[in-house]
Amino acid sequence: AQRVTQPEKLLSVFKGAPVELKCNYSYSGSPELFWYVQYSRQRLQLLLRHISRESIKGFTADLNKGETSFHLKKPFAQEEDSAMYYCALLKSGAGKSTFGDGTTLTVKP
Amino acid sequence: NAGVTQTPKFQVLKTGQSMTLQCAQDMNHNSMYWYRQDPGMGLRLIYYSASEGTTDKGEVPNGYNVSRLNKREFSLRLESAAPSQTSVYFCASSKDEKEKLFFGSGTQLSVL
């Protein structure tokens, strides 16, 4: 069965510092990976998807099939980036997304 | 733009009581989902409906039932609530099984 691991439950950085939220997955097939974000008092929403290769709010994520990772990165964190971040894997053809346990990011002024 | 609407937002039940969580989407999506969110455990899929007329179990279906009433609506029923079902419940929808999820605002349920 597929599995998504986010090793850090809490991550704290200062404003302007680089930030990396780690995501590792286990899946034997060809995965589709997503990052979802939940800001305070807002609903969970898509941040980015690996196949689109977009940069959203300055965040990027590269799928590394060799290391089975999909880490989320931003070179200069902003206070408004403080939120809960979930990595999710969509099993090809199955329609069920598996989520990691989430990482709470706090960006300090 | 309503998107995915869940009701109620908050609910307190006593052990053994039953209730139904309602979810509706206005985006003409085919697929709908129910997740629960527990501290330190991320989101776990309870049930999902790939398309109107179909439902399938997710990771944690025990103690729940679902109904895909029509394309817009997907309800989650707790027949006999237990304290272990205290959680935040999220409904989500997607255009189809391969697309991104759109989430509702959640229902905070406490079972005493």
Burial of A46-62, coded b for 16+ CB within 10 Å and e otherwise, reads: bbbbeeeeeeeeebebe
Residue B54 Cα to chain centre, angstroms: 15
Mean pLDDT of A71-86: 96
pLDDT digits (tens, 9 = 90+) for B87-104: 999 999 999 888 889 999
Is the model's pLDDT at B106 over the cut of 90? yes
**Residue B44, CA distances (Å) to A85, B57, B72 in order:** 15, 11, 22
Is the model's pLDDT at A82 over the cut of 80? yes
The reply to whether A20 touches chain B by the CB within 8 Å rule is no
> Which pLDDT belongs to residue B1?
65
pLDDT band at residue A93 under the 50/70/90 scheme: low
Rounded to whole angstroms, the Cα distance separating A89 from A91 reads 6
| A41: nearest CA partner in chain B | B105
Average pLDDT of the residues of chain A:
91
**CATH classification for the domain delimited by A3-108, as one of 2.60.40.10, 3.40.1390.10, 3.50.50.60, 3.20.20.60:** 2.60.40.10
Nearest to A19 by CA among A97, A71, A90, A95: A71
Nearest to B5 by CA among B77, B99, B103: B103
Minimum distance, in Å, between the CA of residue A44 and any CA atom of chain B: 6
State the DSSP code for A59: B
- Residue among B4, B42, B105 whose CB faces A100 most closely: B42
> Which pLDDT belongs to residue A5?
95
Domain boundaries, chain A: 3-108
pLDDT digits (tens, 9 = 90+) for B32-81: 999 999 987 889 999 999 999 899 999 899 999 999 989 999 999 999 99
> Which pLDDT belongs to residue B31?
94
pLDDT digits (tens, 9 = 90+) for B71-86: 999 999 999 999 999 9
